[in-house]
Every structure is written in C-alpha cells, then in structure tokens.
Amino acid sequence: MATSRSLPPHPPSALAIFDLDDTLLDGDCTHLWLEWIIECGWVADGESLLGQMRAHDAQYHAGTLDMTEHLRFTLAPLIGRSRREVREQVEAFVEARVRPRLMQEGVARLQEHGRKGHATLVISASMHHLVAPIAAAVGADGALATLPEFNADDCFTGEPTGIQTYQRGKLDAFAQWLDAHDTGFAEGWETWGYSDSYNDLPLLEFVDHPHATQPDARLRETATARGWPILQWR
C-alpha cells in the first residue's frame, strides 16, 4: 500500500496529508497518463478511452463513481505488460508531463512541513504505480494508493488489489500505514490535511487542520460553513 522513504531521524510529532490530483498537481494524473499511453501506441481507440475517462471524472465529482470499475478501466491498457516496462514509461511520463504541472505553492507547503520535521504523506485515489513516483518527486515521505495486481510473471493483470484509497478508504489505508510504522501516533500527533475534493471529506474531518485547496463546489461550501482555510495554488 505504501511506498515510504525513511521518516525523519527524530520521531515526528506531526503529520501532513496531501491529496494529489488538483491539490498538488494541476490536473488528474490518470487522465494525463492515459493521454501519454495513447501517444505511446498502447491504446487502439484513444478517443473512446478519453471519452470514458471524462464520464468517470464527472461521476467522481458527483460522488457516484464505481471505483472498482474505474480502476479496472484505467488498468486495462496495461494488461500483460511487465512491471518494469510500465515503470520506465511512468518515469518518463512524470518528467515530461507531471513535473511541469505541479503547483509550486502546494509543493512548497509540503516541503515546509518536512523542514519542520513533520511526516508527509500523499494519499490519492489514483493508482499506486503513478502516485508513488510523483510523491517521491515532490519529496513526500510516503505514498498511499490502490495497488495493481501482478501475475506470476510480474505483469499487470488489470485488477486492483487491497484497499481502494477513495473516500473513507483513504483513512483505512492510513490506518494500515500506521500499523506498519513505529510513529507514536497513538500518543497524539498534530495533523494537517489538504484536498480539493468533497470525496475527501472523511479525511479532512479526521485531521486537526483541514484545508480546502482549489475546492470543488461542495467542498467550498462545506469549508466556508466550517471556517476552514481555502487555498488557491493553481
């Protein structure tokens, strides 16, 4: 579930959790990735693929997305491809398409938390093979995202596996991360959260200091009513 670097040398007493798409990244990394693999020739009907992605995006913002169906859809072009082959393309994709679209104020906020000795996590509804390299690129301590399944030959099966990091699933993934790290969280960390989406309301309600970043309409309404800071990094 997590790709983690070493936590700060002194046990942190605080944690900042960041969403990725439209929070640190100007856009959706899955949509950008699908455009990339269309250009690579991995998809026969790119127009149809992007049309379906746009429909899924609308369902996501409405809170009606079938996440299992969506993850299978995004993984389908990778079926039978090796982990190594995909990783090489992802690395090129991150350099060419993701880095230029990172929102620098958001990245600076994440890195500021790190300089203060806070642990930093990126938790995203996008797939782990995309999220983990992007989290590493911005300097986060770890990345939580839904894992793809691999067969005995280390090739993508097209199925997601484990916890789906969507809505309350982000908190489930976080709980699993805590179990795998000697963090002292039970003694009471101070927590920050940053997201653009109403789908992340469970996560924002969990942290001590919630922030709405480029919020969608429903999250903006909620943040305004509750007095949460609204940040514009785009």
Beta bridge partners of 7: none
SS3 of 172-207: the string is HHHHHHHHCCCCCHHHCCEEEEEECCHHHHHHHHHC
C-alpha R_g of the chain: 17
**Rounded-to-integer distance, Cα 19 and Cα 66, Å:** 19
19 noted as active-site residue: yes
Nearest partner of 129 among 96, 178, 91, 157, judged by Cα: 91
Which residue is catalytic, options 21, 141, 196, 200? 21
**Rounded-to-integer distance, Cα 210 and Cα 213, Å:** 10
Q: By 3-state DSSP, what share of the chain in percent is helix, strand and coil, each rounded to 5?
A: 50, 20, 30
Place of tokens 């509750």: 226
Q: Do 204 and 224 contact (CB within 8 A), yes or no?
A: no
Six-digit token string for 185: 């969280």
Sign of CA dihedral 66, 173, 98, 42: negative
* 229 contact partners, CB below 8 Å, separation of at least 6: 211, 212, 223
Which residue is catalytic, options 19, 22, 141, 216? 19
Q: Which residues are catalytic?
A: 19, 21
